[in-house]
Amino acid sequence: MQSGTKMPSVSFIVPALNEERSIKGAARTCEASAEGLASDYEIILVNDGSQDLTGEVMDALARGSPQIRVVHNPCNLGFGGAFKAGLAHAKMDYVIRICGDDQVPVAGVRSILAELGNADLVVPYIANPAEFRSWGRRFGSWGFTTLVNYLFGLRVPYYNHSVVFRREAVQGIQIATDGFAYQAEALVKLLLAGYTFVPIGINDLARIHGKSTALRPRNLLKVVKAICDLFWEVRKPGGIPAKLPSQPRSLS
């Protein structure tokens, strides 16, 4: 964050599917991360059709904090669908997704938020993948990133971390996919429109509860389809959105 500028406000969107044991920690991570780095903040917890007590835990958290709101999806919409459900309720200057599994430590989120104002978007990447990810998962992430960068002529270090978007910019585009590729779709469209980004390496934590569903065959097929659809979409007239004017930097 540039010195001499007014602190921005931040909407934390927290999608969760069956994360009853982790969602409280994720909400607390958002609260601790905003302290001293945001003029105001809100935490939008999205219960994406969970079959455990995730929804009940979220409602209890909301009763204890005016900054927390809950969105209950009656059925599972997918990772991207859950994010979009939360995005529809966001009101702050910037939007960041924090996963309900609470894998990103407070220090990491604060490092991300500290970059606000240095570019239109903040794009984190995992700096310590070998500490908690298998060789196969690391190779898959590298392959996905390399493919998307090649197809769209970009140099993004990673597409699937807690990217920070200008709220008006990301709300102004159509995100077609409801799957795991939603953030890659949003980044590609905004970067091709001329928005700038700053990368930052973050040390993540190993997942404590549950197991990621990202590598399930069904989800992988959705990712492939989403990238293929995006490849053709941005080549159509109007496929790349118009860039919004830059936000003025207000002196504090």
CA distance 109 to 94: 13
Supply angle C-alpha 71, 106, 179, rounded to 5.
45
Pairwise pLDDT comparison (109 vs 213), residue with the higher score: 109
* Beta pairing partners, 13: 44, 97
Q: What is the pLDDT of residues 65-77, one digit of tens each?
A: 999 999 999 999 9
CA distance 30 to 89: 17
114 contacts 37 by C-beta, under 8 angstroms? yes
**In CATH, which superfamily holds the domain spanning 10-233?**
Spore Coat Polysaccharide Biosynthesis Protein SpsA; Chain A (3.90.550.10)
What residue ranges do the domains of the chain occupy? 10-233
Q: What is the pLDDT of residues 64-112, one digit of tens each?
A: 999 999 999 999 999 999 999 999 999 999 999 999 999 889 999 999 9
* Average pLDDT for the chain: 90
pLDDT of the residue at 212: 56
Model confidence at 203, pLDDT cuts 50, 70, 90, reads: confident
Terminal alpha carbon distance of the chain:
12
Residue 151 pLDDT > 60: yes
> Which stretch of 24-38, 107-121, 201-215 has the lowest confidence by average pLDDT?
201-215
Residue 252 pLDDT > 80: no
Sheet containing strand 164-166, strands side by side: 68-73, 41-48, 10-16, 94-97, 164-166, 121-126, 197-202
What's this model's pTM, rounded to 2 decimal places? 0.89
> Which stretch of 8-22, 181-195, 238-252 has the lowest confidence by average pLDDT?
238-252
